[in-house]
Amino acid sequence: MRVGRHVATLLDGESDPVVMSLPMNPVNRALRGFNQAETLALAVSRELELEMLEGVVRRRFAWKAQAKLADPMKRAGNIRDAFEVRGELHGRDVMLVDDVFTTGATVRECAAKLVEAGAGKVQVVTVMKG
């Protein structure tokens, strides 16, 4: 898997890193039946032989779709406090995987919550830029 090998360079020198996927809006998850970021994160964790933490971060509520908001300030406000981290991360470095990066508001909010919960460094990996 080429993506996994490229991503491995981000982890050079990291201690005990884990892989996590950005959780989806629960309504969209129910409609789609799967989370594409989770599928990608699982593939990366297998390729790199890293632990994948599932269910540690969840979306607390559904809101207007980020893709429908053009203004970056509205996107940031729309996603504020949308994530909840369950448990302590005890300084572990996290590779946060998402499928599409547009303005970065979603991954920034999630990464901030991970750090608040005790994560060390949070690296974000996405497959596409929107």
Over the stretch 92-121, which tens digit does the pLDDT of each residue have? 999 999 998 878 888 999 999 999 999 999
Query: What value does the mean pLDDT of the chain take?
Result: 83
Residue 110 and residue 33 in contact, taking contact as beta carbons nearer than 8 Å: no
Residue 74 and residue 60 in contact, taking contact as beta carbons nearer than 8 Å: no
Task: Please name each of the domains of the chain with its CATH number.
Answer: 2-129 (3.40.50.2020)
Angle between helical axes of 72-79 and 105-116 (0-180°, round to 10):
40
Among 36, 64, 35, 63, which Cα is nearest to 128's? 36
3-state class (DSSP) for residue 98: strand
The percentage of the chain sitting over the pLDDT mark of 70, rounded to a whole number, equals: 75
The number of beta carbons lying within 10 Å of the beta carbon of residue 104 is 16
Helices (H), 9-35: 26-32
